[in-house]
Structure 1
Amino acid sequence: MTKADSTPTLASSIAAMLRERIAHGEFAPGAKLRLDELRTMFGVSLSPLREALSRLCAEGFVATEDQRGYRVVPVSQNNLDEVIRLRVQFESYALREAIIKGDDVWEGEVLAALHRLNKIERGRVDAQGVSQWEQFHSVFHRRLISACGMPLLLHFCETLHDLNDRYRRIFLSDNPIDRDVRQEHVDICTATLERRPDEACELLRSHVERTGANVLKALGDGRASSAGAA
C-alpha cells in the first residue's frame, strides 16, 4: 500500500480516536484543539490530522475558527434538543424499514447484541465493565436498524447517535437512575422482532427522549446528572 493509499485509513483512525475522546469528555466542550499537541499525541503528520478534523467538523463534534484552528463544539440545550429531535425522526424511520426488510440473520444479530448488552449490564461495576457496556450499547442500537437497506440513512443515524452519546457520557454520574433501562431495551427488541413497527418506534422514541430530558435538565441545572442510557 502506498503512502497516498494509507492516508484515508489513517485519517479515519485518528477521527475515531478523537471522536471517542470528545464523547468521553477527555477533550472538554469548547476546548481548543492544538495541532502540534495532537500531532505529538497521535504521532502523525498534519495531512491526516487535518483530514480527521475536517470529518469531525462535518459530523458536528469540532468547529473551525477563522484562521485560528479548531475547537470542540460546546454543549448547549439547543444543540442537544436538535440532536434528540433528529435522532428520533431518523432512527424511527430506519427501524420501521428494518422491521419490514429484516430477515432471520438480522433477527439473530439483534438478539445476540441484546444478550451481550444485558450480560455486561448485570456485572457493570468497574471502568472496564462500563467501557464494554458503552460499546455493546452502541452495537445494539445499530443492529436494530441495520436491515433498513439505506446506507446514507444509517450514516446519519450513527452520527446522531454519537452526538447524543457525547451528552449522555459527559453528564452521566454514578447516581442511580429512576428507570429500568435494561427492560426498555428488551421491550424495544421484542416489539421489533415481533414485527410491530408502531409499538417499536414509540418505545424507541420514549427511550431516547427520556435520556434527552434528563440531560437537558442537567444542562439547565449546570451539573452532571444520572442521564440514563439511550
Structure 2
Amino acid sequence: MAKTAEKTTLSTTVYQKLRSDIIQGEFRPGEKLRIEGIASTYGVGSNAVREALSRLSSERLVERHEQRGFSVPTIALDDWRVLVRTRCWLETRALEEAISHRDERWEEGIVLALHRLSRYRSDFPAERAAWEDAHRNFHRALLANCGSPWLLEFCEILADHASRYISISHAFGRMPRNGQSEHEALMKAVLNGTPQEACALLVAHYTKTLQTIEELFTEERFATLATGSGPTRTAELTD
C-alpha cells in the first residue's frame, strides 16, 4: 500500500511539473516530448513521465501520436481566436449565473481578490509570477458562485490553454498589461452594475489580450515558432 501511494504521489508531482512547464512555455509548440529526456531532467522514472503525458493528453495540453510518442500542441491564429471566443461564451454564462446567485461571501471574495492583485505589478519581472497567480484567482473569484462545478472546470481548462499562448507572447517582450483599472471597473460592474455591463467588460478585457497576440502572429519570429521550427525554450527567445 505504501509503495502504491508513493508511486501515485510521484506521478502526480511529475504531472503537475510538466503541466506547469508546458503552460509556461518551457517547451516550444510542436516540440517532441521525449520520455527518457524528461525523466532525466526531472530526476524520475520513465513510467511516471509516461503516466503524466497520458494524463495531459486528455486535457489537450499534450498531443499523443500513435506509435510516435507525444508532443506539445502547436499554436495557430485561428485556434487562438476560437479559444478566446469559447472562453468568452462560457465565462460570461458563468458570470451571469454567479451574479444571479450573489451573496455576501462571494462579493467579499471578489473584493479581497482584487486587493491581493493590486499588491503586484505584472511589468516587474520579480513580481510577475505572483501577479499571474493573483490575476488568475481574481477571475476565479468572479465565477466562483455560478453553482456549476462542471462549468468552472471547463473555464479552468480554457484559462490554462490561454495562459500557454500568453506565456509564449511574454518571450517576445509582450509584457502583460497591468490592467488594474480594467479589473476595478469589472469588479464595480459585477457588484453594482447589471449582468450585461459586467459581461461586456469581461469580453472587452479578453479581447485586448486577443488583439495583442493577433499582432504577434504578423511577426516572422513568432510565425516561425508557431510552425514548430523555433527555439526549444522560451528563455532562448529573449536573448
Asked if TM exceeds 0.5, the reply is yes
Partner of 1:39: 39
Match of 2:78 in 1: 78
> Within 5 Å, which residues of 2 pair with 1:31-70?
31-70=31-70
Q: Where do 5+ consecutive residues of structure 2 fail to align? A: 223-239
Q: 1:12 to 1:96 in 2, by over 3 A?
A: farther
2:164 is the alignment partner of 1:166:
yes
Look up the SS of the partner of 2:75 in the other structure.
coil
1:70-149 to structure 2, matched below 5 A, reads 70-121=70-121, 124-126=123-125, 128-149=126-147
Query: How far apart are the structure 2 equivalents of 1:16 and 1:107?
Result: 31
Q: Distance in 1 between matches of 2:9 and 2:188?
A: 37
Q: Percent identity?
A: 36
Instruction: Please state how far the C-alpha of 1:70 moved relative to its aligned partner.
Output: 0.6
Q: Is the 8 A contact 2:123 2:178 kept in 1?
A: no
Q: 1:216 aligns with which of 214, 221, 224?
A: 214
Equivalent-residue separation in structure 2 for 1:140 and 1:28 (angstroms): 28
Amino acid at match of 1:84: V
> Helix, strand or coil for the counterpart of 2:63?
strand
- Counterpart CA distance in 2 for 1:150 and 1:8 is 28
Q: Which amino acid aligns with 1:125?
A: F
- Secondary structure of residue in 2 paired with 1:114: helix
Secondary structure of the corresponding residue to residue 140 of structure 2: helix
Structure 2 match to 1:19: 19
**CA shift in 2, pair 1:12/1:99, >3 Å:** farther
Which is bigger in relative contact order (C-alpha 8 A, separation at least 6)?
2
Please give the alpha-carbon distance, in whole angstroms, between the structure 2 residues aligned to 1:90 and 1:5: 36
Between 80-89 and 36-45, report the one with greater CA deviation.
Answer: 36-45
Shift of 1:82: 1.4
Aligned equivalents of 2:17, 2:219: Cα separation in 1 = 30
**Residue-pair matches, total:** 221
Q: Cα 1:94–1:8, aligned 2, differ >3 Å: closer, same or farther? A: farther
Q: CA deviation at 1:23?
A: 2.1
Equivalence map 1:184-203=2 (5 Å): 184-194=182-192, 196-203=194-201
8 A contact 1:33–1:72 mirrored in 2: yes
Alignment check: 8 A CA contact 1:113 1:143 kept:
yes
TM-score (norm. length: structure 1): 0.87
**Distance apart, 1:60 and its partner CA:** 1.9
Supply the AA of the counterpart residue of 1:203.
L
Distance 2:77 2:108 in 1: 38
